């Protein structure tokens, strides 16, 4: 598990799920886009993450997406499969991920309006127990779960190697990490926007949807953070900030739509998303075009040597 944690301390790419003209998942393109990421240096992929429209896919589609992404792996690629929903479904999908060749699972925060911290511990401990062979990364985006709850989960589930932490408050993150104690890997789950601030408080990796478009930018930010080169990290952060602000607008309503619109403009996939997401307006599409125009040359084509 310590070796796995070392591999996860990087840019964790969350692949989009492209659809064909009829609205079905285009699995050939799922694999091709994942191969493009791997070819351009992305070593960890999380199929069935939020940028992959996890909650808009059917159970069969989620499993097929995982299989398609696994088909793109090369030696050195680490696959972290997203699982969630009710406890039984999460455990079943975790076992499917294990059998499909995933290295770890990312457990989505339970989509329940009434979440108790002790219940969060129970839920994640039960999912982790279903696949003791795999590493487990719970996804946390609520302040209801504090450091002591995370420490309790780590005691009960030794295959919990870290957390994807997505509370948009660096001070809360620093406090929570300190309360949880040592031994866990912390992933900045709010992507490049929060990666520098969370790095200062102990995060050693970050998730990314931007990586679907321009992997070199995400990897450049990681490199600058690892070298403690604040000037270089800030330069990358400023370049991508307009794009990430579009994704975060209106409580992240365009999180996936903005990424897919940009990819569509560069000929990588169709722009369609499934409800409750929505395609961008013409004005939104122009804003995306303006945001990515400074780094068009750093967006690789789909076909790579």
**Per-residue pLDDT tens over the stretch 148-165:** 999 999 999 999 999 999
Cα–Cα dist 49/256, whole Å: 11
**In the predicted model, is pLDDT for residue 304 greater than 70?**
no
**In the predicted model, is pLDDT for residue 80 greater than 80?**
yes
pLDDT in tens, 162-185: 999 999 999 999 999 999 999 999
Report the pLDDT averaged over residues 286-304: 93
**In the predicted model, is pLDDT for residue 305 greater than 50?**
no
| CA dist list (Å): 293 to 165, 192, 298, 305 | 31, 18, 10, 25
What is the CB neighbour count within 10 angstroms for residue 75? 4
Closest by alpha carbon to 164, among 42, 51, 17? 51
- How many helices (H) and strands (E) the chain has is answered by 12, 8
pLDDT band at residue 2, thresholds of 50, 70 and 90? confident
**In the predicted model, is pLDDT for residue 138 greater than 60?**
yes
Report the pLDDT averaged over residues 127-138: 98
Cα–Cα dist 257/279, whole Å: 6
Q: Residue 48: left (phi > 0), alpha (psi -120 to 50), or beta?
A: left
């Amino acid at each position: 598990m310590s070796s796995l944690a070392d591999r996860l301390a990087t840019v964790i790419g969350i692949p989009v799920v492209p659809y064909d003209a009829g609205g079905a998942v285009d699995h050939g393109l799922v694999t091709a886009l994942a191969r493009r990421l791997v070819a351009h240096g992305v070593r960890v992929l999380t199929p069935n993450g939020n940028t992959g429209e996890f909650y808009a896919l059917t159970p069969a589609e989620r499993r097929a997406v995982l299989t398609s992404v696994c088909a793109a792996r090369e030696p050195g690629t680490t696959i972290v499969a997203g699982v969630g929903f009710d406890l039984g479904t999460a455990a079943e999908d975790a076992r499917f991920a294990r059998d499909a060749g995933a290295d770890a699972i990312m457990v989505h925060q339970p989509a329940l309006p009434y979440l108790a911290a002790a219940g969060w511990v129970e839920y994640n401990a039960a999912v982790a127990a279903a696949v003791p062979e795999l590493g487990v990364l719970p996804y946390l985006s609520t302040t209801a779960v504090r450091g002591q709850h995370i420490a309790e989960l780590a005691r009960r589930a030794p295959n919990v190697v870290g957390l994807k932490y997505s509370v948009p408050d660096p001070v809360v993150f620093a406090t929570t990490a300190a309360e949880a104690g040592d031994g866990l890997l912390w992933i900045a789950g709010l992507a490049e926007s929060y990666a520098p601030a969370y790095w200062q408080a102990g995060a050693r990796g970050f998730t990314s949807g931007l990586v679907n478009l321009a992997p070199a930018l995400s990897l450049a930010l990681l490199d600058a953070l690892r070298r403690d080169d604040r000037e270089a990290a800030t330069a990358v952060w400023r370049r991508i900030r307009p794009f990430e602000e579009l994704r975060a607008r209106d409580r992240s309503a365009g999180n996936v739509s903005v990424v897919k619109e940009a990819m569509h403009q560069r000929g990588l996939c169709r722009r369609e998303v499934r409800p409750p997401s929505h395609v961008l307006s013409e004005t939104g599409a122009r804003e995306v075009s303006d945001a990515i125009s400074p780094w068009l040359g750093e967006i690789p084509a789909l076909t790579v040597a």
